[in-house]
Structure 1
Amino acid sequence: MAGLPNNNNRWIAPDATPSNGVTVLPPRHQAKVQEFLQKFGYLDRSRDAADLDPSVDDHAALKYFQRFIGLSDTSGIYNDETKTAMNEPRCGFPDVSGISDFVLSGSKWNKKVITWRLVGPSEDLPIGQVRTAILKACNEWNRYMLNNRLQEVLSGPADIVIQFARGNHGDGNNFDGPGRVLAHAYFPPPAGGQLSGDIHFDEDENWTEDFSMQVALHELGHSLGLRHSTDPSAVMFPTFSSGRRSLGTDDIAGIRRLYP
Structure 2
Amino acid sequence: MAVTGGLTDTVLRADLPSREASMSSIQERLDEILTQRGYIVLGKPKSQLPTSGEENHDPIRDFQKFYSLPETGQFDEETKAVLFASRCGVPDPRRSTKWFAEATRWQKRNLTISIENSVPGVPIEHIRSLVEHAAAVWNEAAKGRFSIAPQIAGGDIKVSFQSGYHGDAWPFSGPEGVLAHAFHAKFPEGALAGQIHFDLSESWSFTEHCPPTSKDFLSVAIHEVGHSLGLDHIGAKKSVMYSNYNGVQRQLFDFDYHLISNLYSS
TM-score normalized by the length of structure 1: 0.81
Q: Name the Cα RMSD after superposition.
A: 2.3
Match of 2:256 among 244, 251, 254: 251
Structure 1 pair 105/244, CA: closer, same or farther in 2 (3 Å)?
A: farther
Q: Deviations over 1:92-135 (max 9, x none)?
A: 000134698xx646321122311111012122522122112111
1:70 corresponding residue in structure 2: 68
Post-superposition shift, 1:79?
Answer: 1.0
**Following superposition of structure 1 onto structure 2, how do residues 48-127 of structure 1 map, counting pairs within 5 Å?**
49=46, 52-54=47-49, 59-71=57-69, 73-97=70-94, 104=101, 106-123=103-120, 125-127=122-124
Cα distance in 2 for partners of 1:237, 1:207 equals: 19
Q: Deviations over 1:17-63 (max 9, x none)?
A: xxxxxxxx7121111111111111011133475xx544599821111
The one of the two structures with greater contact order (alpha-carbon pairs below 8 A, sep at least 6) is 1
Structure 1 pair 243/58, CA: closer, same or farther in 2 (3 Å)?
A: farther
1:181 corresponding residue in structure 2: 178
Q: Structure 2 unaligned runs (5+)?
A: 1-21, 208-215
Matched, 1:203 2:208: no
The answer to whether the 8 A contact 1:124-1:207 is kept is no
Q: Structure 1 unaligned runs (5+)?
A: 1-24
Post-superposition shift, 1:190?
Answer: 5.3
Between structure 1 and structure 2, the one with the greater Rg is: 2
Structure 1 pair 161/33, CA: closer, same or farther in 2 (3 Å)?
A: same
The answer to whether the 8 A contact 1:124-1:208 is kept is no
1:7 corresponding residue in structure 2: none
- The number of residue pairs the alignment matches comes to 230
Structure 1 pair 125/47, CA: closer, same or farther in 2 (3 Å)?
A: farther
Post-superposition shift, 1:231?
Answer: 2.1
2:17 corresponding residue in structure 1: none
Cα distance in 2 for partners of 1:177, 1:57 equals: 35
1:3 corresponding residue in structure 2: none
Cα distance in 2 for partners of 1:99, 1:83 equals: 26
Q: Deviations over 1:166-222 (max 9, x none)?
A: 000011210111001000000113555221111000001011115111111000111
**Following superposition of structure 1 onto structure 2, how do residues 36-55 of structure 1 map, counting pairs within 5 Å?**
36-47=33-44, 49=46, 52-54=47-49
Cα distance in 2 for partners of 1:46, 1:96 equals: 19
4+ aligned runs moved over 3 Å, structure 1: 46-49, 52-58, 97-100
**Which protein is richer in helix relative to its size?**
2
Identical columns (%): 31
Q: State the AA in 2 paired with 1:34.
A: D
Cα distance in 2 for partners of 1:133, 1:91 equals: 18
The answer to whether the 8 A contact 2:134-2:218 is kept is yes
Matched, 1:226 2:231: yes
TM-score normalized by the length of structure 2: 0.79
The answer to whether the 8 A contact 2:114-2:128 is kept is no
